Amino acid sequence: MSELIFTPVIGIEIHIRLKSDSKLFCSCSTNTDAAPNTNICPICMGLPGSLPHMNHRVVEQGMLAGFALNCGIRPKSLFFRKSYFYPDLPKGHQISQCDLPITTAGYIEVHDSEGKLKKIRVNHLHLEEDVGSLHHSASDGRLEGASTSYVDYNRSGTPLAEIVSEPDVASAAEAVEYVTTLRRRVIYSGASEVELEKGMMRFDANVSMKCSDGRWGKKVEVKNMNSFKALERAIEFEIKRQKKIMLQGGEVMQETRHWNDAKGVTSPSRVKESYRKFIVEPDLPPLHISQEWIDRVHSRMPEMPDVRANRYVHDMGLTQEAADILTDDRKVADYFESCVNAGANPVRAANWIRTEVMRVLNETQKKIADFNIKPEVLAEIVKRVDDKKLSTTQAKEVFDYMCANNAGLDDSVKKLGITEGGVAGNALNEIIANVIKANPDVLAEIQSGKDMKGKKFKFLQGLVMKESKGQAKPQEVAEALTAALKN
Binders of another protein among residues 277 to 336 (CB under 8 A) are 277-280, 282-285
Nearer to another protein, 87 or 268 (CB): 87
Question: In whole angstroms, what is the distance from residue 153 CA to residue 381 CA?
Answer: 50
Stretch in the footprint of another protein (CB under 8 A) among 144-152, 318-326, 329-337, 456-464: 144-152
Q: Give the nearest distance from C-beta 284 to another protein in angstroms.
A: 6
Distance CA 358, CA 326 (A): 10
Using CB under 8 A as the binding criterion, the count of chain residues that bind another protein stands at 32
Based on the shown chain and the rule CB under 8 A, indicate whether residue 85 belongs to the binding site for another protein.
yes
Out of 19, 74, 81, 384, point to the residue binding another protein (CB under 8 A).
81
Using the rule CB under 8 A, give the single segment among 80-88, 197-205, 223-231, 246-254 that binds another protein.
80-88
Q: How near is the Cβ of 145 to another protein at its closest, in Å?
A: 9
For residue 91, the minimal CB distance to another protein (Å) is 5
C-alpha distance across the termini of the chain, in Å: 95
Smallest gap from Cβ 203 to another protein, in A, equals: 25
Q: Which lies closer to another protein via its Cβ, residue 97 or residue 242?
A: 97
Chain centre to alpha carbon of residue 414: 37
Rg (CA), the chain: 32
Is residue 151 at the binding interface for another protein, with CB under 8 A as the rule? yes
| Calpha distance 14→204 (Å, rounded) | 7
> Per rule CB under 8 A, is residue 98 in the interface with another protein?
no
Q: How many residues does the chain have?
A: 487
- How many Å apart are CA 121 and CA 70, to the nearest integer? 10
Of 77 and 266, the one with the shorter C-beta distance to another protein is 77
CB of 285 to another protein, least distance (A): 6
Q: Which is nearer to another protein, 85 or 114 (CB)?
A: 85
Q: Quick one: which of 29, 70, 83, 104 contacts another protein (CB under 8 A)?
A: 83
Could you give the 3-state DSSP secondary structure of residue 286?
A: coil
Using CB under 8 A as the binding rule, whether residue 138 contacts another protein is answered as: no
Is 256 near another protein (CB under 8 A)? Answer: no
Q: Which is nearer to another protein, 247 or 279 (CB)?
A: 279
Is residue 52 part of the contact set for another protein (CB under 8 A)? yes
Say whether residue 4 binds another protein (CB under 8 A).
Answer: no
| Residue 303: CB minimum distance to another protein, A | 36
- Closest CB to another protein among 130 and 177? 130
Instruction: For residue 323, give the amino acid letter.
Output: A
CA distance linking residue 350 with residue 372, whole number of Å: 18
Least distance from C-beta 199 to another protein, angstroms?
Answer: 23
Q: Would you give the distance in Å from CA 273 to the centre of its chain?
A: 33
Q: Which is nearer to another protein, 277 or 450 (CB)?
A: 277
DSSP string, 345-411: -HHHHHHHIIIIIHHHHHHHT--GGG-SS-HHHHHHHHHHHHTTSS-HHHHHHHHHHHHHHT--HHH
Residue ranges in 28-47 that form contacts with another protein under rule CB under 8 A: 42, 45-47
Distance CA 329, CA 309 (A): 11
What are the Cα distances from residue 462, in Å, to 5, 131, 306, 377?
A: 69, 71, 51, 34
For another protein, give the closer residue by CB, 53 or 389. Answer: 53
Q: How far apart are CA 307 and CA 176, in angstroms?
A: 21
Least gap, CB of 318 to another protein (angstroms): 50
Q: Do 118 and 195 contact (CB within 8 A), yes or no? A: no
3-class secondary-structure state, position 109? strand
Among residues 5, 48, 295, 449, the one that binds another protein under rule CB under 8 A: 48
- Measured torsion, CA atoms of residues 350, 352, 355, 361, in degrees rounded to the nearest 10: -100
Tell me the window of 28-36, 77-85, 161-169, 342-350 that interacts with another protein (CB under 8 A): 77-85
Stretch that binds another protein, among 59-67, 83-91, 174-182, 250-258 (CB under 8 A): 83-91
Q: Which residues pair with 10 in a beta bridge?
A: 169, 207
Task: Name the packing angle between helices 172-189 and 305-316 (round to 10°).
Answer: 80
Q: What is the 3-state secondary structure (H, E, C) of 426-461?
A: HHHHHHHHHHHHHCHHHHHHHHCCCCCCCHHHHHHH
Q: How far is the CB of 56 from another protein (least distance, A)?
A: 11
100 binds another protein (CB under 8 A): no
If the CB atoms of residues 51 and 433 are measured against another protein, the closer one turns out to be: 51
Q: Counting contacts by CB under 8 A, is residue 143 touching another protein? A: yes
Q: Measured on CA atoms in the order 66, 33, 49, 84, is the torsion positive or negative?
A: positive
Binding site for another protein (CB under 8 A): 42, 45-54, 81, 83, 85-87, 90-93, 143-144, 149, 151, 277-280, 282-285
